[in-house]
């Protein structure tokens, strides 16, 4: 039996979930989205994701044709209809059907679709042994082109960096901004540990204000670990004691090498392990 997809205000069969070729989401990447996890049948940080979706839409002047409350309900119904207990939700809003021109105001109504399915970004072995990454030559979009807080459907910037990673036989690449500071990985936030202090780039450096990022910062502070948001350079990544990424699909994953430089002892570090374990317990907790 195929998936049930939420589209145009109702659940439809996967085979019937179709969007017009004139939709500006397809023609121009004109839309916003969220990736959301489901743990033990509980949707993780749904309200935070809904809030970020509406803020992203506001910045690009996209009207979401549904209230936050009704959209929340639609996400819950989609998860229930697909019996997703541990999985992934893709919630997307496109500009809607328009013309072949750029003018977004000819699009009458935004289109919402919701997919609830299973996903695993990285194999379990990578979590145990750690992951290798490279530095991308593709720079993160300048913040004046599009604010990094906007999670838009136009992901070409990240995709080009992802291609660089795959060309170098590693799963991820670290992206830098126009000033040479660390922004983010192609789909995850960056953290390093130096002298038992955790550092992560500020949002202004060109990184998404990640929801998993915020949860991990909270968990680190509960462990009495110091967390500092500051600009990081490639040098900082090369000489750090530990290095890890966070993201909705990735959760917390240790980095053991960047650009051929081994991090620490070449294994995920102790703070990385603690935070991964604590995040796992936090995300999989039974209570609402």
Q: Please state the domain extents for the chain.
A: 4-117, 124-283
- Please name the residues in contact with 251: beta carbons below 8 A apart, sequence gap of 6 or more: 212, 276, 279, 280, 283
Give the strand pairing for 111-117 and 87-94: antiparallel
> What is the per-residue pLDDT across 151-180, written as a single tens digit (0 to 9) for each?
999 999 999 999 999 999 999 999 999 999
Which residues have a catalytic role annotated?
Answer: 151
* pTM exceeding 0.75: yes
Beta strands in the chain (DSSP E): 4-7, 10-13, 31-39, 42-43, 87-94, 111-117, 131-135, 172-176, 182-185, 189-194, 197-200, 227-229, 242-247, 251-258, 261-262
> What does the block give as tokens for 132?
């290798």
Instruction: Give the whole-number percent of the chain exceeding pLDDT 70.
Output: 98
pLDDT value at 123 more than 90: no
pLDDT value at 287 more than 60: no
Task: State mean pLDDT over 270-286.
Answer: 93
pLDDT value at 122 more than 90: no
Q: Calculate the average pLDDT of the chain.
A: 95
Are 11 and 4 in contact by the 8 Å Cβ rule? The answer is yes
- Which CATH architecture best describes the domain 4-117? 2-Layer Sandwich (3.30)
288: exposed, middle or buried (C-beta count within 10 Å: 0-12, 13-18, 19+)? exposed
Please, what CATH class does the domain formed by 124-283 belong to? alpha beta
> What is the per-residue pLDDT across 96-120, written as a single tens digit (0 to 9) for each?
999 999 999 999 899 999 999 987 7
> What is the per-residue pLDDT across 124-149, written as a single tens digit (0 to 9) for each?
899 999 999 999 999 999 988 999 89
């Amino acid at each position: 039996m195929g998936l049930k997809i939420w589209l145009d205000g109702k659940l439809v069969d996967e085979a019937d979930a179709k969007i017009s070729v004139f939709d500006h989401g397809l023609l121009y990447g004109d839309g916003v989205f969220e990736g959301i996890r489901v743990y033990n049948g509980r949707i993780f940080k749904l309200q935070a994701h809904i809030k970020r979706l509406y803020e992203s839409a506001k910045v690009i002047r996209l009207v979401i044709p549904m209230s936050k409350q009704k959209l929340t309900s639609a996400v819950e119904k989609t998860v229930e209809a697909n019996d997703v207990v541990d999985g992934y939700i893709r919630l997307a809003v496109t500009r809607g059907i328009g013309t072949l021109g750029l003018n977004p105001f000819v699009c009458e109504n935004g289109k919402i679709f919701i997919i609830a399915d299973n996903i695993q970004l990285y194999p379990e072995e990578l979590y145990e042994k750690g992951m290798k990454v490279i530095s991308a030559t593709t720079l993160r979009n300048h913040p004046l082109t599009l604010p990094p807080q906007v999670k838009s459907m136009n992901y070409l910037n990240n995709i080009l960096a992802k291609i660089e990673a795959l060309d170098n036989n590693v799963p991820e690449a670290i992206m830098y901004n126009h000033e040479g500071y660390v922004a983010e990985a192609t789909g995850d936030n960056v953290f390093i540990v130096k002298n038992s202090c955790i550092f992560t780039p500020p949002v202004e450096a060109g990184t998404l204000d990640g929801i998993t990022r915020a949860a991990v910062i909270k968990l680190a502070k509960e462990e009495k670990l110091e967390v500092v948001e500051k600009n990081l350079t490639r040098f900082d990544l090369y000489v750090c004691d530990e290095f890890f990424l966070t993201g909705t699909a990735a959760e917390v994953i240790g980095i053991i090498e960047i650009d051929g430089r081994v991090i620490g002892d070449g294994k995920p570090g102790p703070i990385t392990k603690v935070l991964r374990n604590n995040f796992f317990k936090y995300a999989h907790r039974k209570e609402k």
